[in-house]
């Protein structure tokens, strides 16, 4: 049996939202301190990391040097080379499944999309943990015993005199919306299958 038309449209919308996420930053991390009242920040895109302001990433790397953190170098982050291709492939596959209307493929696609989202968040947390805990204390001008500098995954956290805040940016919101719409399409498909099954049973 095929996917109901409304669910296919929802699946196509989910795939489009996922592709659109590439055009915007996925995550935003900002830092505010008395010496930086206007704040510093960076956007994490699917393909790169960039400062919110013209010199923000350079300034953040300068501050990180003083406390022993590694410099944030986008070209050295392998996920940023993989993620754009993965998003494009998932989006194209979603559109193909919406056109074909296969229930089984829809279920697999939605499960894969949700799993990819979870894996992405876990990997982002691991990346933050590595930067915040693996410090070069031998060469760090500023050393605070027992202190780590991992920014929050979501929300705000005090790191010395800086308040670090981390939230999904526009692209992240679009990706989350894509997962939600995809789950709605899957739920609609299951409900339609159950309705059809009950109808056949009542007729027999």
Distance CA 172, CA 175 (A): 5
> What one-character DSSP code corresponds to residue 41?
E
Tokens for 199?
Answer: 């109808």
Tell me what the mean pLDDT of segment 94-120 comes to: 93
Considering just the CA atoms, what is the radius of gyration of the chain in Å? 22
Q: Residue 197: is its pLDDT beyond 80?
A: no
The reply to whether 201 falls in a domain is no
**Does 21 reside within a domain?**
yes
3-state secondary structure of 22: helix
Q: How far apart are CA 146 and CA 148, in angstroms?
A: 7
* Mean predicted lDDT score pLDDT of the chain: 90
pLDDT of residue 195: 65
Residue 200 lies in a domain: no
* pLDDT in the model for residue 183: 95
Query: Which of helix, strand or coil describes residue 28?
Result: strand
**Region of residue 124 (phi > 0: left; psi between -120 and 50: alpha; otherwise: beta):** alpha
pLDDT band at residue 201 under the 50/70/90 scheme: very low
Query: Which pLDDT belongs to residue 4?
Result: 84
Q: Residue 68 falls within a domain, yes or no? A: yes
| Total domains, the chain | 1
60: in domain: yes
* Residue 79 domain-assigned (yes or no): yes
203 located within any domain: no
The whole model's pTM is what? 0.88
pLDDT of 3 over the 90 cut: no
Report the SS3 class of residue 165: strand
Residue ranges making up the domain that contains 86: 5-194
Is 156 part of a structural domain of the chain? Answer: yes
Backbone dihedral angles phi then psi of residue 22, each to the nearest 5 degrees? -65, -25
3-state secondary structure at position 69? coil
């Amino acid at each position: 049996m095929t996917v109901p038309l409304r669910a296919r449209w929802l699946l196509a919308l989910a795939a489009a939202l996922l592709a659109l996420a590439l055009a915007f930053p996925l995550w935003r991390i900002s830092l505010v301190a008395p010496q930086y009242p206007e704040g510093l920040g960076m956007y994490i895109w699917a393909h790169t990391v960039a400062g919110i302001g013209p010199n923000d990433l350079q300034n953040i790397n300068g501050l990180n040097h003083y406390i022993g953190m590694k410099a944030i170098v986008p070209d050295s982050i392998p996920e940023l080379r993989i993620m754009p291709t993965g998003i494009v492939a998932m989006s194209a596959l979603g559109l193909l499944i919406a056109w074909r209307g296969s229930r089984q493929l829809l279920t697999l696609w939605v499960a894969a999309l949700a799993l990819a989202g979870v894996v992405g968040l876990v990997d982002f947390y691991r990346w933050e943990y590595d930067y915040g805990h693996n410090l070069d204390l031998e060469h760090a001008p500023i050393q605070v015993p027992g202190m780590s500098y991992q920014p929050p995954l979501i929300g705000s956290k005090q790191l010395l005199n800086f308040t670090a805040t981390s939230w999904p940016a526009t692209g992240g919101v679009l990706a989350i919306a894509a997962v939600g719409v995809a789950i709605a399409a899957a739920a609609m498909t299951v409900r339609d299958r159950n309705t059809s099954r009950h109808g056949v049973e009542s007729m027999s």
